[in-house]
Amino acid sequence: MSQHRAAGNRVTPSNSAARKTGASRHSAKHRVARRNTPGSTQIVGLTAALAAAAGAVGFSHSSLASPTQANSAVNIAALSGSSQLSEVTTARIERRQLATRDSSRVELSSTEATKKQAAADRLSKARAAKLDATRALTAKRASALAAAKAAAAAAEQKARESATRCEMIISDYRITATFGQGGSRWAANHTGTDFAAPIGTPIRSVMKGEVIFADWAGPYGRQVKVRHDNGTETWYNHMSKFSVEVGETVYAGDQVGAVGVTGNTTGPHLHFEVHPDGGPAINPMPWLREVCGLNP
């Protein structure tokens, strides 16, 4: 019934009210009819399309050509039915084709996936191998570096422990009095060399040795005496502070105190003395040059 009405509406396109009623009433069920309601030209086109569709899926043309079905509305209604059937059939065929395509696509994609996986595995293995090689190389380098560092540290320690290695006793100084110089401040001639420098300037042991004295010593002020392995003593005087204690082992360059103005002095300086075998003082300058290889 509804098909008849839809068809009827289509053959009287000028009746817009009826068309609208029919269209709205069957809007969901008859998409084909609804789509083609606007004009007769389109209906002719639809008829041809339906006929083609019906023919394509094997429906007889006789249903269209039959003289007993002269009523075009009935014809179209039949076509509409045929069209729905053909749509269903076409849809089934399409679904089947789609399913076939899908399955072959799945097969194809699974083959591609396998290939991709294999390639990814190869890449992964290659990367792992490269990483292993890099790690091995890094470990080897680290080991070599550690060995080199250890060797350097050992060499440095050995040099530091060397009894003959020397370091300058003070930096940024100015020599203000030399050995043997006469002067009113000294009972005899000057027994050392004066290195003038600001208060607090570090004073360092010239060689490895043992601290044998670190105390006040009258005109020397704060005094540190270091006895070196060769028996020579070096004395550091007029200091503002002590950096070592008696009994302590010091190495060349280790700080023993700082420049001060303690004892018999008119300005901040290091009064430095050298006593071979703990005996009388000698001129420090040639000793620093010849024994220590320094250039004061």
CB atoms within 10 A of CB 185: 11
- With the C-alpha atoms ordered 67, 69, 72, 77, is the resulting torsion angle positive or negative? negative
Residue 192: CB minimum distance to Zn ion, A: 5
Binding segment for Zn ion (CB under 5 A), chosen from 39-47, 159-167, 190-198, 218-226, is 190-198
219 contact partners, CB below 8 Å, separation of at least 6 = 263, 264
CA 282, 293, 232: angle at the middle one, nearest 5?
40
Report the alpha-carbon distance of residue 116 to residue 108 in Å, rounded: 12
Q: Does 194 bind Zn ion (CB under 5 A)?
A: yes
Residue 193: CB minimum distance to Zn ion, A: 7
Residue 194: CB minimum distance to Zn ion, A: 4
Residue 193 near residue 285, CB atoms below 8 Å: yes
Of 209 and 268, which has the nearer Cβ to Zn ion? 268
Binding segment for Zn ion (CB under 5 A), chosen from 78-86, 112-120, 252-260, 269-277, is 269-277
Binding segment for Zn ion (CB under 5 A), chosen from 64-72, 88-96, 132-140, 186-194, is 186-194
Of 30 and 271, which has the nearer Cβ to Zn ion? 271
Of 204 and 271, which has the nearer Cβ to Zn ion? 271
151-178 burial, b at 16+ Cβ within 10 Å, e below that, comes to eeeeeeeeeeeeeebbbbbbeebeeebe
Binding segment for Zn ion (CB under 5 A), chosen from 36-44, 87-95, 160-168, 189-197, is 189-197
Report the alpha-carbon distance of residue 213 to residue 244 in Å, rounded: 9
Of 5 and 271, which has the nearer Cβ to Zn ion? 271
Residue 268: CB minimum distance to Zn ion, A: 12
Of 50 and 258, which has the nearer Cβ to Zn ion? 258
Report the alpha-carbon distance of residue 241 to residue 278 in Å, rounded: 23
Among all residues, whose Cβ is closest to Zn ion? Answer: 271
Residue 186: CB minimum distance to Zn ion, A: 8
Residue 241: CB minimum distance to Zn ion, A: 18
Q: What single-letter amino acid sits at 16?
A: S
96-106 burial, b at 16+ Cβ within 10 Å, e below that, comes to eeeeeeeeeee
Number of residues that bind Zn ion (CB under 5 A): 2
Residue 191: CB minimum distance to Zn ion, A: 8
Report the alpha-carbon distance of residue 151 to residue 115 in Å, rounded: 53
User: SS3 for 222?
Assistant: strand
Of 177 and 291, which has the nearer Cβ to Zn ion? 177
Report the alpha-carbon distance of residue 136 to residue 42 in Å, rounded: 80
Q: Does 271 bind Zn ion (CB under 5 A)?
A: yes
Residue 238: CB minimum distance to Zn ion, A: 8
Of 235 and 251, which has the nearer Cβ to Zn ion? 235
Q: Does 254 bind Zn ion (CB under 5 A)?
A: no
Token pair in block for residue 255 = 């700080």
Of 186 and 213, which has the nearer Cβ to Zn ion? 186
- Interface positions, 200-219, toward Zn ion (CB under 5 A): none
Four-CA torsion 84, 85, 88, 94, nearest 10 degrees: -110
Residues at the site binding Zn ion, with contacts judged by CB under 5 A: 194, 271
